[in-house]
């Protein structure tokens, strides 16, 4: 959907009449039912007046098509500015311009696409504008049948008209070179260069014909995308399915294909505990359904599993359109009805109600995912809800599926592939943490390497030793120590201090914590480890969980202030102490249950509370 479209002459006239921003505002209200924030209105006025100067050149055809705020059909993303026409050899083409108000940025070292800049009232990590422009163009190429069959050439670029570029500027850092080559970034004083870029692609006007083709193109994954995801998966042993994983995969595949035949909405709820292979199934479905011409995406609220599984698929490949197949759960706030064929939502228990940086966008992520796809698949483990914002539950999914008129189906994964294939360890944990009573008082007969360490140094040494085998061991900790944002990239700054023991939280830059070889020197938290698995984990259980008077108790006041998991708990405690304590107890226990089940072969535990340590040793029946 295009919010504003016209010929170049129409655009210039609207700019001269100072009406272009008002026209866009009116169109957004009429087409999308949304009111425009003042900041966005001002950004249009500034950026589009700059584009007026750029296009005010007789060599750019007067009857070229101009589109503003083009909503990429299968997402809530909008392309800022497009100009269409024909090239030197009459080939159809479109220039995509990503407009930015930024006047500064800093590079995020160790990444290939992230920068830090002032947006949304503070400093935040966002993608490099050239990457953003390239990824939007690639998304359109990969899923728009008219672009593929019509040979439409897309030429992306970024325009930062307030940005003063300096020698050795961070915007040009070596890590962004590939994206700058694909989508040049033009800054203040480079108006003529941007003009030249447009004129190289648009030699003859099209009277919006190319815009019309793109706007009305059917969704179909390109052959190159199908081949890319297929080749990445082929031979990757981490994604081989066994036993009931394959059974669940085939059933989801059947139902998804059926949706494309009868055009009925279906929602599939797949319940499974830690290590039952939910992600393995999702990634295999992602590849197979894409190869069957479906527009399909892997969705998760937490970015850590997306980054890790994408890294494992891509290997050393930096620039790949497969990136666009892995999406955050807040992507669909503005997505249309059934714009996607299938959405595979992993870690569905972590879904939120609202989306966006300030949790002020959309209505409900579950509703939006179901609304956006013919077939929505939710992989869920309700015992892994670990924040106040987590709303993912079977009941909540059922409610929105019914409202959206989506047929419900249920699958359950029971076999346990984590913890050396032992259901007993999970049952023991539930009993130990007093989550639920089970018959598993101890771990007798269970082949799993679990130890209660007398010091954090002992635990760390064991993990370092195990990590030498295959870089698959990590230290994890409860969120009881502050995370100093100013020192987030400084490995020499130690957030976690226990006596003489010191360790940093995982750094904010570089490769994902789960795969980076330097992560052995850092401690991960629930947000960087949930949804992932290691061979061995060392877990520091902090003061938020203790053993007193014969019971495991939790204490939300011992959580770090920087942890957002329990945001709002103090307010709730004033209003309803009993409810607050119940919710905090559930979240803290679920957090440790999740951390303690990340290791497939073993788990080494250190407790800051001596009572908790003695209790765990007793439950393991340690001999003294």
The pLDDT tens digits for 299-329 are 999 998 898 988 888 876 777 788 889 999 9
What is the reported pLDDT for 420?
Answer: 62
Lowest mean pLDDT among 35-49, 152-166, 256-270, 419-433: 419-433
| Contact residues for 29 (Cβ-Cβ < 8 A; gap 6+) | 35, 36
List, in sequence order, the alpha helices (H) in 234-274: 244-262
Q: Which residue has the tokens 């015992």?
A: 383
The pLDDT assigned to 109 comes to: 84
Digit-coded pLDDT (tens) for 83-121: 999 999 999 999 999 999 999 999 998 788 999 999 878
* Sheet of 501-505, strands arranged across: 449-452, 599-607, 534-541, 473-477, 522-524, 501-505, 496-498
Residue 251 — pLDDT band, cuts 50, 70, 90? Answer: very high
How many residues in the chain?
Answer: 624
Residue appearing with tokens 């900790």 = 477
Whole-angstrom distance, CA of residue 323 vs CA of residue 184 = 20
Answer CATH for 223-413 from 1.10.10.10, 3.40.50.300, 2.60.120.200, 3.90.550.10: 3.40.50.300
3-state secondary structure of 349: helix
How many angstroms separate the CA atoms of 447 and 429, rounded? 15
Q: Would strands 449-452 and 599-607 be described as parallel, antiparallel, or unpaired?
A: parallel
Average pLDDT, the chain: 93
Q: What pLDDT shows up at residue 244?
A: 87
Query: Strands, DSSP E only, in 282-395?
Result: 296-300, 326-328, 340-345, 373-380
3-state secondary structure of 263: coil
Q: Report the pLDDT value the prediction gives residue 243, as an integer from 0 to 100.
A: 82
Element (DSSP H or E) covering residue 483: none
Greater pLDDT, 526 or 491: 526
According to the model, what pLDDT value does residue 488 have? 84
Beta carbons of 103 and 164 less than 8 angstroms apart: yes
Place of tokens 């020192």: 487
Distance from C-alpha of 48 to C-alpha of 19, rounded to nearest angstrom? 11
pLDDT at 38: 86
CA angle 492, 495, 498 (to 5 degrees): 110
Q: Is 231 left (phi over 0), alpha (psi -120 to 50) or beta?
A: alpha
In this structure, what token pair is assigned to residue 254?
């059947």
This prediction's pTM: 0.88
The token pair that represents 111 in the structure block: 């990444």
CB atoms within 10 A of CB 200: 13
Phi, psi (deg, nearest 5) at residue 409: -135, 150
Query: What residue segments make up the domains of the chain, in order of their start?
Result: 2-215, 223-413, 423-620
Comparing CA positions, the residue from 42, 77, 55, 74 lying closest to residue 7 is 55
324-333 pLDDT, tens per residue? 899 999 989 9
Those residues with Cβ within 8 angstroms of residue 7's Cβ, 6 or more apart along the chain or in another chain:
62, 63, 64, 65, 66, 205, 207, 208
**Tokens representing 236?**
């990757």
Asked if residue 624 has pLDDT above 50, the reply is no
Q: What are the tens digits of pLDDT across the range 571-617?
A: 999 999 999 999 999 999 999 999 999 999 999 999 999 999 999 99
pLDDT at 623: 35
Q: Kindly report, residue by residue over 194-245, the tens digit of the pLDDT.
A: 999 999 999 999 999 999 999 999 989 999 999 989 888 887 888 889 888 9
Region 502-514 average pLDDT: 88
What pLDDT does 274 receive? 87
Dig out the tokens for 200 from the structure.
């190289």
Between CA 400 and CA 523 the distance in angstroms is 38
Q: Does residue 416 surpass a pLDDT of 70? A: no
User: What is the distance between the terminal CA atoms of the chain, rounded to a whole angstrom?
Assistant: 71
Assign 419 a pLDDT band (cuts: 50, 70, 90).
low
487 torsion bin: left (phi>0), alpha (psi -120 to 50), beta (else): alpha
* Confidence at residue 143, expressed as pLDDT on a 0 to 100 scale: 92
Whether residue 418 is predicted with pLDDT greater than 70 in this model: the reply is: no
Rounded Cα gap, residues 621 and 395, in angstroms: 39
Is pLDDT at 63 greater than 60 in this prediction?
A: yes
User: Are the beta carbons of 378 and 269 closer than 8 angstroms?
Assistant: yes
Can you point out the beta strands (E) in 531-592?
A: 534-541, 545-548, 551-554
Lowest-pLDDT choice from 39-43, 413-417, 496-500, 546-550:
413-417
Pair 239, 282: CB distance under 8 Å: no
Least confident of 138-152, 217-231, 404-418: 404-418
Paired strand residues for 346: none
pLDDT confidence of residue 622: 47
């Amino acid at each position: 959907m295009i919010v504003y479209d016209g010929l170049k002459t129409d655009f210039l006239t609207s700019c001269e009449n100072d009406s272009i921003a008002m026209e866009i505002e009116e169109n957004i209200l009429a087409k999308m039912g949304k009111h425009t924030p003042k900041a966005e209105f001002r950004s249009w006025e500034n950026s589009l007046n700059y584009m007026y100067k750029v296009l005010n050149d007789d060599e750019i055809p007067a009857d070229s098509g101009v589109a503003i705020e083009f909503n990429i059909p299968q997402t809530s993303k909008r392309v800022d500015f497009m100009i269409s026409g024909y090239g030197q050899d009459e080939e159809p083409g479109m220039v995509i311009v990503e407009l930015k108000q930024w006047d500064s940025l800093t590079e995020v070292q160790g990444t290939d696409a992230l920068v830090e800049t002032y947006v949304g009232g503070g400093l935040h990590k966002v993608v490099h504008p050239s990457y953003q422009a390239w990824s939007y163009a690639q998304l359109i190429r990969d899923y728009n049948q008219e672009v593929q069959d019509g040979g439409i050439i897309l030429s992306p670029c970024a325009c930062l008209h307030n940005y003063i570029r300096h020698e050795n500027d961070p915007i040009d850092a070596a890590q962004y070179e590939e994206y700058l080559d694909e989508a040049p970034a033009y800054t203040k004083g480079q108006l003529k260069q941007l003009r030249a870029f447009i004129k190289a692609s648009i030699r003859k006007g099209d009277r919006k014909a190319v815009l019309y083709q793109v706007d009305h193109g059917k969704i179909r994954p390109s052959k190159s995308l199908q081949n890319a995801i297929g080749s990445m998966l082929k031979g990757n042993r981490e994604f081989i399915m066994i036993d009931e994983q394959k059974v669940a995969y085939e059933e989801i595949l059947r139902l998804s294909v059926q949706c494309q035949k009868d055009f009925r909405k279906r929602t599939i709820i797949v319940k499974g505990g830690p290590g039952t292979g939910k992600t393995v199934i999702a990634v295999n479905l992602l590849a197979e359904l894409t190869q069957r011409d479906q527009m399909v995406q892997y969705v998760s609220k937490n970015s850590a599993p997306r980054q890790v599984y994408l890294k494992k698929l891509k290997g050393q490949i930096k620039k790949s359109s497969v990136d666009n197949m892995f999406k955050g759960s807040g992507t669909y706030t503005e997505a249309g009805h059934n714009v996607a064929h299938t959405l595979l939502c992993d870690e569905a228990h972590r879904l939120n109600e609202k989306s966006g940086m300030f949790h002020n966008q959309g209505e409900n992520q579950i509703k939006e995912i179901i609304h956006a796809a013919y077939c929505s698949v939710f992989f869920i483990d309700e015992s892994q809800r670990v924040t106040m914002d987590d709303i993912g539950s079977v009941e909540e999914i059922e409610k929105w599926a019914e409202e959206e008129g989506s047929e419900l189906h249920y699958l359950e994964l029971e076999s346990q592939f984590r913890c050396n294939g032992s259901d007993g360890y999970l049952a023991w944990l539930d009993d130990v943490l007093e989550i639920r009573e089970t018959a598993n008082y101890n771990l007798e007969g269970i082949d799993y390497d679990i130890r209660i360490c007398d010091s954090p140094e002992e635990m760390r040494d064991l993990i370092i030793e195990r990590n030498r085998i295959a870089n698959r061991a990590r230290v994890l900790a409860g969120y009881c120590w502050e995370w100093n944002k100013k020192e987030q990239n400084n490995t020499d700054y130690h957030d976690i201090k226990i006596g003489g023991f010191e360790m940093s939280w995982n750094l904010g830059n570089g490769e994902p914590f789960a795969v980076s070889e330097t992560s052995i020197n850092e401690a991960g938290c629930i947000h960087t480890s949930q949804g992932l698995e290691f061979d061995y984990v060392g877990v520091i259980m902090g003061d938020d969980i203790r053993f007193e008077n014969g019971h495991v108790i939790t204490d939300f006041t011992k959580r770090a202030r920087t942890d957002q998991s329990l945001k709002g708990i103090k307010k709730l405690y004033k209003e309803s102490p009993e409810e607050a304590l119940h919710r905090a107890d559930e979240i803290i226990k679920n957090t440790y249950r999740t951390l303690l089940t990340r290791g497939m072969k073993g788990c080494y535990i250190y407790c800051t509370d001596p009572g908790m340590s003695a209790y765990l040793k007793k439950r393991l029946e340690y001999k003294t």
